[in-house]
Chain A
Amino acid sequence: MISEKKKKRSIAIPTASMADIAFLLMIFFLVTTTIDLDKGINLTLPEKGGEEVKIKRGNIANLLVNAAGQTLLDDEPIEIAQIREVIKRKIEEKGYDKEGKPILIVSIKTARETNYDTYIQVLDQVKLAGATKISIAEPER
Chain B
Amino acid sequence: MKFTKKEEATSSIPTASLPDIIFLLLIFFMVSTVFKEYRGLPILTPAARSTEKVEAKRNITYLWTDKNHRISIDDKIIPLNVVSQIIGEKFALNRRLIISLKIDKEVKMGLVSDIQEQLREAYALRINYSTRFK
Contact = CB atoms under 8 A, between A and B. Distances in A.
Contact count band on A:
35 or more
Interface string B50-85: 111110010010000000000000000000000000
- Residue among A40, A41, A138 with the highest chain B CB neighbour number at 10 A: A40
A11 interface: no
Contact of B22 (A23, A48, A113): A23
Contacts of B130: 38-40
B10 to A, nearest CB: 20
Contacts of A139: 109-110, 113
Interface in A14-56: 15-16, 18-19, 22-23, 25-26, 29-30, 32-34, 37-48
A119 B111 CA distance: 13
Contact count band on B:
35 or more
Nearest to B52: A42
Interface string A117-132: 1011101100110000
A121 B30 CA distance: 38
B105 A117 contact: yes
A22 B23 contact: yes
B48 A121 contact: yes
Contacts of B127: 42-45
Q: Is the interface of A mostly helix, strand, loop or mixed?
A: mixed
A124 B26 CA distance: 39
Contacts of B120: 45-48
Contacts of A115: 105-109
- Residue among A18, A46, A120 with the highest chain B CB neighbour number at 10 A: A120
B113 A43 contact: no
Contact of A40 (B15, B112, B125, B129): B129
Contacts of A45: 116, 119-120, 125-127
